[in-house]
Amino acid sequence: MIRIGKPIIEKEDGITTFKAFINNDVEGRNEWLWYTTDEKWGDYFCPEVADAFVLPMILRAVKTYQNIVVESSISEKLFYNLNDSVLYAVTKAYEKKYGKQTGEVVKIECNSLVSTNYKPMAIGTGCSLGVDSFAVLKHHLLSDDCPPSYRITHLTLFNAGAFGSRDVEGARKSFQKEVEKTRLFANSIGIPFVWVDSNTRSFFPELSFDWCHTYLNMGIVLSMQKLWKKYLYASGYSLDNISFDIDYCAKYEPYLLPHISTESTELISASMNMRRSDKVKYISEDRLVQERLYVCLKEQQANNPNIKNKYQGSYLNCGHCKKCLRTMLQLEILGKLDLFKDIFDLSDWDKEREQYIADVIIGSKNNLMLANLYDSMLEHNYPIPSKSLQYVKKRRFHNRINYVLKRIGLK
Protein backbone atom coordinates (compact mmCIF):
# COMPACT_ATOMS: atom_id res chain seq x y z
CA MET A 1 0.00 0.00 0.00
CA ILE A 2 0.92 3.66 -0.29
CA ARG A 3 0.61 5.36 3.09
CA ILE A 4 0.31 9.13 3.34
CA GLY A 5 1.24 10.49 6.78
CA LYS A 6 -0.48 13.39 8.50
CA PRO A 7 0.44 16.66 6.71
CA ILE A 8 2.43 19.18 8.71
CA ILE A 9 3.51 22.79 8.27
CA GLU A 10 6.95 24.21 9.02
CA LYS A 11 8.12 27.83 8.87
CA GLU A 12 11.70 28.97 8.51
CA ASP A 13 13.37 32.15 7.17
CA GLY A 14 10.18 33.49 5.62
CA ILE A 15 9.45 30.23 3.78
CA THR A 16 6.54 27.94 4.66
CA THR A 17 6.75 24.22 3.92
CA PHE A 18 3.72 21.94 3.76
CA LYS A 19 4.70 18.27 3.72
CA ALA A 20 3.61 14.69 4.33
CA PHE A 21 5.63 11.49 4.57
CA ILE A 22 4.94 8.91 1.87
CA ASN A 23 5.55 5.17 2.39
CA ASN A 24 5.37 3.28 -0.88
CA ASP A 25 5.65 -0.38 0.18
CA VAL A 26 5.83 -2.07 -3.23
CA GLU A 27 8.42 0.27 -4.71
CA GLY A 28 10.32 0.79 -1.45
CA ARG A 29 10.28 4.58 -1.65
CA ASN A 30 9.84 6.31 1.67
CA GLU A 31 10.24 10.07 1.65
CA TRP A 32 8.65 13.46 2.21
CA LEU A 33 6.47 15.03 -0.47
CA TRP A 34 6.70 18.78 0.06
CA TYR A 35 5.39 22.13 -1.14
CA THR A 36 7.01 25.47 -0.26
CA THR A 37 6.10 29.09 -0.76
CA ASP A 38 6.77 32.38 0.98
CA GLU A 39 5.16 33.00 4.35
CA LYS A 40 2.43 35.28 3.03
CA TRP A 41 0.93 32.56 0.83
CA GLY A 42 1.90 29.76 3.20
CA ASP A 43 -0.97 30.85 5.48
CA TYR A 44 -3.34 29.40 2.87
CA PHE A 45 -1.91 25.88 3.08
CA CYS A 46 -4.56 23.47 4.27
CA PRO A 47 -3.18 20.91 6.78
CA GLU A 48 -6.72 19.82 7.76
CA VAL A 49 -6.85 17.56 4.66
CA ALA A 50 -4.28 15.45 2.79
CA ASP A 51 -5.86 16.11 -0.65
CA ALA A 52 -2.69 17.75 -1.98
CA PHE A 53 -0.73 14.55 -1.30
CA VAL A 54 -3.39 12.16 -2.57
CA LEU A 55 -3.56 13.55 -6.12
CA PRO A 56 0.12 12.96 -6.98
CA MET A 57 -0.16 9.37 -5.71
CA ILE A 58 -3.09 8.35 -7.90
CA LEU A 59 -1.06 7.27 -10.94
CA ARG A 60 1.57 5.60 -8.72
CA ALA A 61 -1.19 3.61 -7.00
CA VAL A 62 -2.87 2.61 -10.28
CA LYS A 63 0.40 1.62 -11.92
CA THR A 64 1.47 -0.60 -9.00
CA TYR A 65 -2.02 -1.80 -7.90
CA GLN A 66 -1.59 -0.46 -4.38
CA ASN A 67 -4.35 1.00 -2.23
CA ILE A 68 -3.75 4.46 -0.79
CA VAL A 69 -4.13 4.76 2.97
CA VAL A 70 -4.35 8.30 4.33
CA GLU A 71 -3.45 8.57 8.01
CA SER A 72 -5.48 11.75 8.40
CA SER A 73 -8.45 13.35 6.57
CA ILE A 74 -9.55 13.90 2.97
CA SER A 75 -12.21 16.18 1.54
CA GLU A 76 -15.42 14.18 1.36
CA LYS A 77 -16.20 15.19 -2.23
CA LEU A 78 -12.74 14.17 -3.44
CA PHE A 79 -12.91 10.87 -1.51
CA TYR A 80 -16.29 10.05 -3.05
CA ASN A 81 -15.29 10.88 -6.63
CA LEU A 82 -11.97 9.07 -6.46
CA ASN A 83 -13.42 5.83 -5.10
CA ASP A 84 -16.62 5.94 -7.14
CA SER A 85 -15.25 7.12 -10.47
CA VAL A 86 -11.66 8.26 -11.04
CA LEU A 87 -9.73 5.21 -9.82
CA TYR A 88 -11.94 2.90 -11.88
CA ALA A 89 -11.65 5.10 -15.00
CA VAL A 90 -7.88 5.54 -14.75
CA THR A 91 -7.26 1.86 -14.04
CA LYS A 92 -9.33 0.83 -17.06
CA ALA A 93 -7.55 3.36 -19.29
CA TYR A 94 -4.15 2.11 -18.03
CA GLU A 95 -5.01 -1.55 -18.59
CA LYS A 96 -6.45 -0.84 -22.03
CA LYS A 97 -3.28 0.91 -23.14
CA TYR A 98 -0.87 -1.67 -21.72
CA GLY A 99 -2.86 -4.82 -22.49
CA LYS A 100 -3.60 -5.86 -18.90
CA GLN A 101 -6.79 -7.23 -17.44
CA THR A 102 -6.51 -7.86 -13.72
CA GLY A 103 -10.03 -6.97 -12.63
CA GLU A 104 -8.45 -5.04 -9.74
CA VAL A 105 -9.27 -1.42 -8.93
CA VAL A 106 -7.35 0.34 -6.17
CA LYS A 107 -9.15 2.19 -3.35
CA ILE A 108 -8.48 5.07 -1.01
CA GLU A 109 -8.99 4.78 2.73
CA CYS A 110 -8.67 7.52 5.31
CA ASN A 111 -9.16 8.23 9.01
CA SER A 112 -11.95 10.75 8.53
CA LEU A 113 -13.75 12.92 5.98
CA VAL A 114 -13.99 16.71 5.96
CA SER A 115 -16.74 18.56 4.10
CA THR A 116 -15.82 22.11 5.13
CA ASN A 117 -15.99 24.91 2.59
CA TYR A 118 -13.18 27.30 3.55
CA LYS A 119 -14.90 30.14 1.63
CA PRO A 120 -11.87 31.04 -0.50
CA MET A 121 -12.03 34.14 -2.70
CA ALA A 122 -9.32 33.89 -5.36
CA ILE A 123 -9.59 32.90 -9.03
CA GLY A 124 -6.20 31.66 -10.19
CA THR A 125 -4.41 30.50 -13.28
CA GLY A 126 -0.87 29.48 -14.18
CA CYS A 127 1.17 32.12 -15.97
CA SER A 128 3.84 30.52 -18.15
CA LEU A 129 3.24 33.27 -20.77
CA GLY A 130 2.84 30.57 -23.45
CA VAL A 131 0.03 30.26 -25.99
CA ASP A 132 -2.38 28.30 -23.73
CA SER A 133 -1.65 30.58 -20.80
CA PHE A 134 -2.19 33.82 -22.79
CA ALA A 135 -5.43 32.48 -24.30
CA VAL A 136 -6.79 31.95 -20.77
CA LEU A 137 -5.46 35.33 -19.60
CA LYS A 138 -6.96 37.19 -22.52
CA HIS A 139 -10.45 35.75 -22.07
CA HIS A 140 -10.52 35.81 -18.26
CA LEU A 141 -8.63 39.03 -17.54
CA LEU A 142 -7.60 41.24 -20.44
CA SER A 143 -10.95 41.37 -22.26
CA ASP A 144 -14.47 42.24 -21.09
CA ASP A 145 -16.30 39.12 -22.25
CA CYS A 146 -15.86 37.00 -19.11
CA PRO A 147 -18.53 36.56 -16.37
CA PRO A 148 -17.36 38.31 -13.16
CA SER A 149 -17.03 35.20 -11.01
CA TYR A 150 -14.58 33.70 -13.55
CA ARG A 151 -12.31 36.75 -13.76
CA ILE A 152 -8.73 36.01 -12.76
CA THR A 153 -7.60 37.64 -9.51
CA HIS A 154 -4.21 35.92 -9.00
CA LEU A 155 -1.47 34.52 -11.25
CA THR A 156 0.65 31.50 -10.32
CA LEU A 157 3.77 29.59 -11.20
CA PHE A 158 4.28 26.06 -9.86
CA ASN A 159 7.31 23.81 -9.98
CA ALA A 160 5.51 20.55 -10.69
CA GLY A 161 7.97 19.26 -13.31
CA ALA A 162 7.54 21.57 -16.28
CA PHE A 163 11.15 22.72 -15.99
CA GLY A 164 12.70 19.30 -16.55
CA SER A 165 13.01 16.19 -14.41
CA ARG A 166 16.51 14.80 -15.00
CA ASP A 167 18.56 17.63 -13.52
CA VAL A 168 16.50 18.49 -10.43
CA GLU A 169 18.68 21.38 -9.26
CA GLY A 170 18.91 22.80 -12.79
CA ALA A 171 15.13 22.62 -13.03
CA ARG A 172 14.83 24.43 -9.72
CA LYS A 173 17.14 27.23 -10.92
CA SER A 174 15.10 27.57 -14.12
CA PHE A 175 11.93 27.70 -12.03
CA GLN A 176 13.39 30.47 -9.86
CA LYS A 177 14.34 32.45 -12.97
CA GLU A 178 10.81 32.04 -14.31
CA VAL A 179 9.37 33.10 -10.95
CA GLU A 180 11.14 36.44 -11.27
CA LYS A 181 9.95 36.86 -14.87
CA THR A 182 6.35 36.04 -13.99
CA ARG A 183 6.47 38.25 -10.89
CA LEU A 184 7.52 41.21 -13.05
CA PHE A 185 4.73 40.46 -15.51
CA ALA A 186 2.13 40.15 -12.73
CA ASN A 187 3.35 43.44 -11.19
CA SER A 188 3.13 45.15 -14.58
CA ILE A 189 -0.56 44.28 -14.86
CA GLY A 190 -1.28 44.78 -11.14
CA ILE A 191 -2.23 41.19 -10.23
CA PRO A 192 -0.97 39.30 -7.12
CA PHE A 193 1.43 36.47 -7.90
CA VAL A 194 1.69 33.14 -6.05
CA TRP A 195 4.60 30.72 -6.51
CA VAL A 196 4.91 27.19 -5.14
CA ASP A 197 8.02 25.01 -5.37
CA SER A 198 7.70 21.25 -4.93
CA ASN A 199 9.45 17.89 -5.27
CA THR A 200 6.25 16.25 -6.58
CA ARG A 201 7.79 15.43 -10.00
CA SER A 202 10.53 13.32 -8.39
CA PHE A 203 7.91 10.69 -7.48
CA PHE A 204 7.51 9.93 -11.21
CA PRO A 205 11.04 9.46 -12.56
CA GLU A 206 9.98 6.95 -15.21
CA LEU A 207 6.80 8.69 -16.40
CA SER A 208 6.62 11.39 -19.03
CA PHE A 209 5.23 14.74 -17.95
CA ASP A 210 2.32 14.20 -20.39
CA TRP A 211 1.21 11.32 -18.15
CA CYS A 212 1.03 13.19 -14.92
CA HIS A 213 1.13 17.00 -15.14
CA THR A 214 -2.57 17.52 -14.35
CA TYR A 215 -2.36 15.44 -11.16
CA LEU A 216 0.86 17.17 -10.02
CA ASN A 217 -0.25 20.73 -10.73
CA MET A 218 -3.72 20.21 -9.27
CA GLY A 219 -2.13 18.68 -6.17
CA ILE A 220 -0.39 22.03 -5.68
CA VAL A 221 -3.68 23.90 -6.15
CA LEU A 222 -5.40 21.72 -3.54
CA SER A 223 -2.60 22.44 -1.08
CA MET A 224 -4.11 25.97 -0.82
CA GLN A 225 -7.86 25.39 -0.67
CA LYS A 226 -8.20 28.37 1.65
CA LEU A 227 -7.08 30.60 -1.22
CA TRP A 228 -8.55 29.13 -4.45
CA LYS A 229 -12.25 29.39 -5.13
CA LYS A 230 -11.73 28.53 -8.77
CA TYR A 231 -8.59 27.51 -10.58
CA LEU A 232 -8.41 27.74 -14.37
CA TYR A 233 -6.03 25.14 -15.80
CA ALA A 234 -5.20 25.98 -19.42
CA SER A 235 -6.30 23.06 -21.58
CA GLY A 236 -3.71 21.58 -23.91
CA TYR A 237 -6.29 20.09 -26.28
CA SER A 238 -9.65 21.29 -27.50
CA LEU A 239 -12.83 19.38 -26.67
CA ASP A 240 -12.98 17.75 -30.10
CA ASN A 241 -9.84 15.77 -29.13
CA ILE A 242 -11.10 14.48 -25.80
CA SER A 243 -10.23 10.81 -25.13
CA PHE A 244 -9.30 8.57 -22.21
CA ASP A 245 -5.68 8.18 -23.28
CA ILE A 246 -3.62 7.36 -20.18
CA ASP A 247 -0.42 8.64 -21.87
CA TYR A 248 -1.86 12.18 -22.17
CA CYS A 249 -3.74 13.34 -19.09
CA ALA A 250 -4.58 16.63 -20.88
CA LYS A 251 -6.87 14.68 -23.22
CA TYR A 252 -9.14 13.57 -20.38
CA GLU A 253 -8.94 16.72 -18.22
CA PRO A 254 -12.56 17.76 -18.95
CA TYR A 255 -13.60 14.56 -17.13
CA LEU A 256 -10.85 14.60 -14.50
CA LEU A 257 -10.92 18.17 -13.16
CA PRO A 258 -14.55 18.24 -11.95
CA HIS A 259 -13.93 14.87 -10.28
CA ILE A 260 -10.88 16.04 -8.33
CA SER A 261 -12.44 19.34 -7.23
CA THR A 262 -13.42 19.79 -3.59
CA GLU A 263 -16.12 21.55 -1.55
CA SER A 264 -13.88 24.67 -1.52
CA THR A 265 -11.96 24.64 -4.80
CA GLU A 266 -13.42 24.21 -8.27
CA LEU A 267 -10.86 23.05 -10.85
CA ILE A 268 -11.70 24.10 -14.41
CA SER A 269 -10.22 23.11 -17.76
CA ALA A 270 -10.11 26.50 -19.48
CA SER A 271 -10.33 27.43 -23.19
CA MET A 272 -11.44 23.95 -24.22
CA ASN A 273 -13.36 25.51 -27.10
CA MET A 274 -10.18 26.51 -28.96
CA ARG A 275 -7.66 24.47 -30.92
CA ARG A 276 -4.02 25.57 -30.76
CA SER A 277 -4.36 27.44 -34.08
CA ASP A 278 -7.49 29.23 -32.78
CA LYS A 279 -5.61 30.28 -29.65
CA VAL A 280 -2.66 31.70 -31.61
CA LYS A 281 -5.09 33.64 -33.79
CA TYR A 282 -7.03 34.84 -30.73
CA ILE A 283 -3.95 36.25 -28.95
CA SER A 284 -1.67 37.29 -31.82
CA GLU A 285 -3.12 40.80 -32.30
CA ASP A 286 -2.52 41.73 -28.68
CA ARG A 287 0.42 44.08 -28.06
CA LEU A 288 1.19 42.51 -24.67
CA VAL A 289 1.44 39.09 -26.35
CA GLN A 290 3.70 40.47 -29.08
CA GLU A 291 6.10 41.65 -26.38
CA ARG A 292 5.86 38.79 -23.87
CA LEU A 293 4.85 35.50 -25.55
CA TYR A 294 7.22 32.83 -24.29
CA VAL A 295 6.86 29.32 -25.72
CA CYS A 296 10.51 28.24 -25.83
CA LEU A 297 11.99 25.01 -24.42
CA LYS A 298 15.51 26.45 -24.04
CA GLU A 299 15.40 26.26 -20.22
CA GLN A 300 14.26 22.62 -20.23
CA GLN A 301 16.92 21.80 -22.82
CA ALA A 302 19.56 23.53 -20.72
CA ASN A 303 18.67 21.06 -17.92
CA ASN A 304 18.76 17.98 -20.16
CA PRO A 305 22.23 16.42 -20.30
CA ASN A 306 21.26 14.45 -23.46
CA ILE A 307 20.81 17.61 -25.53
CA LYS A 308 24.08 18.92 -26.98
CA ASN A 309 23.13 22.02 -28.95
CA LYS A 310 21.89 24.37 -26.27
CA TYR A 311 20.73 27.84 -27.27
CA GLN A 312 23.34 30.54 -26.77
CA GLY A 313 21.53 33.52 -28.33
CA SER A 314 19.82 36.37 -26.53
CA TYR A 315 16.27 36.18 -27.88
CA LEU A 316 13.40 35.36 -25.55
CA ASN A 317 12.40 32.45 -27.85
CA CYS A 318 15.24 30.47 -29.42
CA GLY A 319 13.54 29.89 -32.79
CA HIS A 320 14.86 26.31 -33.02
CA CYS A 321 13.08 24.10 -30.50
CA LYS A 322 9.89 22.26 -31.45
CA LYS A 323 7.61 24.70 -29.62
CA CYS A 324 9.26 27.75 -31.21
CA LEU A 325 9.06 26.21 -34.70
CA ARG A 326 5.41 25.23 -34.21
CA THR A 327 4.46 28.72 -33.05
CA MET A 328 6.51 30.50 -35.73
CA LEU A 329 4.88 28.48 -38.51
CA GLN A 330 1.41 29.13 -37.07
CA LEU A 331 2.14 32.86 -36.94
CA GLU A 332 3.43 32.77 -40.50
CA ILE A 333 0.26 30.97 -41.66
CA LEU A 334 -1.74 33.79 -40.06
CA GLY A 335 0.53 36.43 -41.67
CA LYS A 336 1.65 37.67 -38.22
CA LEU A 337 5.20 36.37 -37.80
CA ASP A 338 6.73 39.77 -38.50
CA LEU A 339 4.94 41.20 -35.44
CA PHE A 340 6.95 38.79 -33.27
CA LYS A 341 10.40 39.34 -34.80
CA ASP A 342 11.75 41.02 -31.64
CA ILE A 343 11.05 38.04 -29.40
CA PHE A 344 11.78 35.07 -31.73
CA ASP A 345 15.21 34.36 -33.17
CA LEU A 346 14.28 34.19 -36.86
CA SER A 347 17.88 34.09 -38.18
CA ASP A 348 17.61 30.45 -39.38
CA TRP A 349 13.90 30.40 -40.16
CA ASP A 350 14.30 30.76 -43.93
CA LYS A 351 16.78 27.87 -43.96
CA GLU A 352 14.74 25.55 -41.72
CA ARG A 353 11.20 26.42 -42.79
CA GLU A 354 10.81 24.10 -45.79
CA GLN A 355 12.14 21.07 -43.95
CA TYR A 356 9.95 21.87 -40.93
CA ILE A 357 6.82 22.15 -43.08
CA ALA A 358 7.64 18.71 -44.52
CA ASP A 359 8.02 17.35 -40.95
CA VAL A 360 4.61 18.81 -40.06
CA ILE A 361 2.91 17.19 -43.05
CA ILE A 362 4.48 13.79 -42.32
CA GLY A 363 3.91 14.04 -38.55
CA SER A 364 0.30 15.17 -38.90
CA LYS A 365 -0.85 11.55 -39.18
CA ASN A 366 0.18 10.67 -35.62
CA ASN A 367 0.44 13.96 -33.74
CA LEU A 368 -2.59 16.10 -32.88
CA MET A 369 -0.62 19.36 -32.61
CA LEU A 370 0.96 18.85 -36.03
CA ALA A 371 -2.40 17.75 -37.50
CA ASN A 372 -3.89 21.02 -36.27
CA LEU A 373 -1.01 22.96 -37.82
CA TYR A 374 -1.44 21.17 -41.16
CA ASP A 375 -5.22 21.77 -41.09
CA SER A 376 -4.50 25.43 -40.44
CA MET A 377 -2.24 25.59 -43.54
CA LEU A 378 -5.09 24.20 -45.63
CA GLU A 379 -7.75 26.42 -44.00
CA HIS A 380 -5.71 29.56 -44.74
CA ASN A 381 -4.57 28.48 -48.22
CA TYR A 382 -0.99 28.73 -47.03
CA PRO A 383 1.28 28.14 -50.03
CA ILE A 384 3.23 24.96 -49.25
CA PRO A 385 6.74 25.31 -50.76
CA SER A 386 7.49 22.83 -53.56
CA LYS A 387 10.73 21.86 -51.77
CA SER A 388 8.68 20.77 -48.73
CA LEU A 389 6.52 18.56 -50.94
CA GLN A 390 9.66 17.03 -52.44
CA TYR A 391 10.96 16.26 -48.94
CA VAL A 392 7.62 14.63 -48.09
CA LYS A 393 7.69 12.49 -51.24
CA LYS A 394 11.28 11.41 -50.59
CA ARG A 395 10.54 10.52 -46.95
CA ARG A 396 7.42 8.56 -47.84
CA PHE A 397 9.34 6.67 -50.52
CA HIS A 398 12.06 5.75 -47.98
CA ASN A 399 9.45 4.72 -45.43
CA ARG A 400 7.79 2.46 -47.98
CA ILE A 401 11.10 0.84 -48.97
CA ASN A 402 11.94 0.27 -45.28
CA TYR A 403 8.52 -1.25 -44.71
CA VAL A 404 8.97 -3.68 -47.63
CA LEU A 405 12.51 -4.62 -46.52
CA LYS A 406 11.20 -5.33 -43.01
CA ARG A 407 8.34 -7.44 -44.38
CA ILE A 408 10.70 -9.63 -46.38
CA GLY A 409 13.14 -9.87 -43.47
CA LEU A 410 16.02 -7.87 -44.97
CA LYS A 411 15.96 -5.22 -42.25
Among the listed residues 90, 227, 318, 369, the single contact to Zn ion using CB under 5 A: 318
Q: At 18, which amino acid appears?
A: F
Taking the complex as a whole, the smallest distance from the CB of residue 189 to Zn ion amounts, in Å, to 24
- If the CB atoms of residues 260 and 324 are measured against Zn ion, the closer one turns out to be 324
Taking the complex as a whole, the smallest distance from the CB of residue 195 to Zn ion amounts, in Å, to 23
Taking the complex as a whole, the smallest distance from the CB of residue 166 to Zn ion amounts, in Å, to 18
Tell which positions 319-338 bind Zn ion, by CB under 5 A: 321, 324
Taking the complex as a whole, the smallest distance from the CB of residue 298 to Zn ion amounts, in Å, to 5
Taking the complex as a whole, the smallest distance from the CB of residue 349 to Zn ion amounts, in Å, to 12
Q: Is 131 in the site for Zn ion (CB under 5 A)?
A: no
Tell me which stretch binds Zn ion (CB under 5 A): 27-35, 45-53, 63-71, 311-319: 311-319
- If the CB atoms of residues 92 and 181 are measured against Zn ion, the closer one turns out to be 181
Alpha-carbon span 219 to 189, nearest angstrom: 27
Tell me the CA distances in angstroms from 398 to 352, 375, 393, 404, one per residue in order: 21, 25, 9, 10
Taking the complex as a whole, the smallest distance from the CB of residue 295 to Zn ion amounts, in Å, to 7
Query: Long-range contacts of range 357-360, CB-CB < 8 Å, 24 or more positions apart?
Result: 357/329, 357/384, 357/385, 357/388, 358/388, 358/389, 358/391, 358/392, 358/395, 360/329
- If the CB atoms of residues 90 and 296 are measured against Zn ion, the closer one turns out to be 296
Q: At 134, which amino acid appears?
A: F
- If the CB atoms of residues 318 and 329 are measured against Zn ion, the closer one turns out to be 318
- If the CB atoms of residues 136 and 296 are measured against Zn ion, the closer one turns out to be 296
Taking the complex as a whole, the smallest distance from the CB of residue 137 to Zn ion amounts, in Å, to 21
- If the CB atoms of residues 289 and 318 are measured against Zn ion, the closer one turns out to be 318
What is the largest distance, in Å, between two alpha-carbon atoms of the chain? 68
Taking the complex as a whole, the smallest distance from the CB of residue 365 to Zn ion amounts, in Å, to 24
Taking the complex as a whole, the smallest distance from the CB of residue 369 to Zn ion amounts, in Å, to 15
Alpha-carbon span 110 to 88, nearest angstrom: 18
- Number of residues interacting with Zn ion: please give it, by CB under 5 A: 4
Site string for Zn ion, 40-69 (x = CB under 5 A): ------------------------------
Q: At 48, which amino acid appears?
A: E
The residues facing 228 across adjacent strands are: 122
Tell which positions 285-304 bind Zn ion, by CB under 5 A: 296
- If the CB atoms of residues 82 and 293 are measured against Zn ion, the closer one turns out to be 293
* Interacting residues toward Zn ion by CB under 5 A: 296, 318, 321, 324
